[in-house]
Structure 1
Amino acid sequence: MKKSILVLFFCTLFSFAQETTVTDSVAEKNVITKIILLRHAEKEKDGSKDPKLSKQGMLRAEKLNFMLSDFSIDKLFSTAYIRTQKTLGAISQSRNITISNYEARDKNFAEQLVRNEMGKTIIVAGHSNTIPALVNVLIKEDKYKDLSEEEYGKLWILTFSNEELIDCSLFNF
């Protein structure tokens, strides 16, 4: 009788030890990734293919830097255009983070973004027709349409737990 109680005790103890190990492993693997996506700020209407930001656009870029000052930003991505680079310029300078270029229409970029940047908070600046499309790919839903030429103040924050989307929030700024 004592032997069977002892065996039962050790089996129960072993079972609890296994449960704790499994629970701890899951907790250790819960990696949160935040991706902030936005269109570049207002551009000058000079007729060129690569215009600079207007005065209003420069103010919006500064506002963005202020708005995100409480976020710990790890990486910045931008298309190679002046307007997208300058939109992230204030953040880049204030935090000493280099802006990495990406090709807006590269389907692999969207697929690899969450996986390659797991555990980080990143910002992606693009265009009126590419950022909503990128959001759609990341949320795996055709929810957002291209922005109008006059829309500059939309910002999406996507939160992933491991590689699974847990929140998609849209803000106006």
Structure 2
Amino acid sequence: MWLSFVRACCGAALLFTLPGFAEPVKSVYLIRHAEKGITEGHSRDPQLTECGQQRAQALAGFFKSVPLQAIYSTDYQRTLHTAAPIASAQQLEVRQYDPNQLEQFAQTLQQQPEQNILVVGHSNTTPTLAKHLTGRPVAALTEADFDRLYQVLLTPAQPQLNVFRQTFRCAG
């Protein structure tokens, strides 16, 4: 399901051992929350749908092979519930960040000592955060895009961005 992503991550892990890197390479993984429910009143804080819950579980299964040191989420049910299975599997607490302070948050991430960090955000914040981390424009997400996974490699030379698509299919 995530074969191309796993191969890329394994390749990125090799960067940790290559000569010429004075400090470890950091990977920041960025995902948008899973599918959210649409309510009549268009709640500002909807829950995940059944499909969204399945996607969150699938993400937890994927990240089992990626040792994370930190997980960040906004303070919304859909992001927290997307992060929860991953955090549980990794035995980590979910830290919260302010989606209105993305430039400052990008600086915080760059200064963190952790080498593998996951950030769960939104369609309008995830590409923007990737842009702040890499210094390059990143294509916007639509309301229907739930399958993107961004890996930002913070190398001493130049940040690199890898974008992957999850081949998840909802069972139901």
Which TM bucket (shorter chain)?
Answer: 0.7 to 0.9
Distance 2:61 2:107 in 1: 30
Distance 1:118 1:29 in 2: 14
Give aligned-pair identity as a percent. Answer: 27
The equivalences for 1:147-166 within 5 A come to 147-162=141-156, 164-165=158-159
**SS of equivalent to 1:88:** helix
Report the CA distance between 1:162 and its aligned residue.
Answer: 4.0
Matched AA of 1:109:
F
Q: Is the 8 A contact 2:29 2:152 kept in 1?
A: yes
What's the CA shift string for 1:9-52, capped at 9, x where partnerless?
A: xxxxxxxxxxxxxxxxx868321111000100000111211011
Between 78-87 and 134-143, the greater mean CA deviation after superposition:
134-143
Distance 2:97 2:74 in 1: 5
Q: 2:54 pairs with 52, 59, 64, which one?
A: 59
Q: 2:27 pairs with 31, 34, 50, which one?
A: 34
Q: Is the 8 A contact 2:64 2:90 kept in 1?
A: no
Q: Is the 8 A contact 1:39 1:125 kept in 2?
A: yes
Distance 1:143 1:159 in 2: 15
Matched AA of 2:83:
L
Identify the residue that residue 45 of structure 2 maps to in structure 1: 50
What's the CA shift string for 1:43-94, capped at 9, x where partnerless?
A: 0111211011000000000111111211110000000000000001101111
Q: Is the 8 A contact 1:41 1:87 kept in 2?
A: yes
Identify the residue that residue 12 of structure 2 maps to in structure 1: none
Task: Normalising by structure 1, report the TM-score.
Answer: 0.78
Identify the residue that residue 168 of structure 1 maps to in structure 2: 161
After superposition, the Cα gap between the structure-2 partners of 1:74 and 1:119, relative to the gap in structure 1 and judged at 3 Å, is closer
Matched AA of 1:29:
A
The equivalences for 1:1-173 within 5 A come to 29-46=22-39, 47-106=42-101, 107-115=103-111, 117-145=112-140, 147-162=141-156, 164-165=158-159, 167-173=160-166
Give 1 or 2 for the bigger CA radius of gyration.
1
After superposition, the Cα gap between the structure-2 partners of 1:164 and 1:52, relative to the gap in structure 1 and judged at 3 Å, is same
**Structure 1 residue ranges, 4+ long, deviating more than 4 angstroms after superposition:** none
After superposition, the Cα gap between the structure-2 partners of 1:171 and 1:52, relative to the gap in structure 1 and judged at 3 Å, is same
Matched AA of 2:78:
R
Q: Is the 8 A contact 2:71 2:93 kept in 1?
A: yes
Structure 2: runs of 5+ lacking an equivalent: 1-18, 167-172
**SS of equivalent to 2:161:** strand
Structure 1: runs of 5+ lacking an equivalent: 1-25
Number of aligned residue pairs: give it: 145
